[in-house]
Amino acid sequence: MSTGRLEVICGREGSGKTAMALGRAMQALEEQKSVIIIQFLKGKQKEDALDVYKHLEPDMKIFRFEKSDSCFTELSEKEKQEEQSNIRNGLNYAKKVLTTGECELLVLDEALGLVEQGVIKEDELTSVLGYRGEAEVIVTGRELPDGVRRIADKIKQVEVL
């Protein structure tokens, strides 16, 4: 049974979900906790932003498994199919991180979007989240599936005013 808390940050595009999750990651670093962030559906674009976070290693590590320079939603159907295996590699890595206790906070940025985009099924995401053990997990995305809602300890609905 998982004892780590699951926090969900959801809301419309551009509402600051990733920024909130990164803020929570910074708080965890202040508390001397190890942090891993895995970003989905963002492609390789804005890699320069990732360089800023490299200065926080080894306490905070950030990963993107996708190879395309574009966001997933901007890809052709053929390109999306090719990226799906990279995305699954990222999800498998998240499961490994949780099962081995590799960090105290795992942020799965836009993981809810994997369900929304049909890349994975809802039960696949809830299964990975079930491996959290003592680790705290933050999941972000626009749409909150019922299965994730049922297992979440805290849900933050972000709205743009």
Q: What are residue 139's DSSP bridge partners?
A: 8, 108
- Would you say residue 56 has pLDDT above 60? yes
- Would you say residue 44 has pLDDT above 90? no
Under 8 Å CB-to-CB from 27, ≥6 apart: which residues?
none
Q: What number does CATH give the domain 6-158?
A: 3.40.50.300
Dump pLDDT digits (tens) for 67-92. Answer: 887 778 788 888 888 888 899 999 99
pLDDT for the residue numbered 104: 96
Q: Which residues of 72-100 are buried (b: 16+ CB within 10 A; e: fewer)?
A: beebeeeebeebbeebeebbeebbebbee
pLDDT for the residue numbered 82: 85
For 37, phi then psi, to 5°, come to -120, 130
pLDDT for the residue numbered 1: 52
The band of 161, judged by pLDDT with boundaries at 50, 70 and 90, is: low
Q: What value does the CA radius of gyration of the chain take, rounded to a whole number of Å? A: 15
Q: Which of 123, 85, 95 is nearest to 38 (CA)?
A: 95
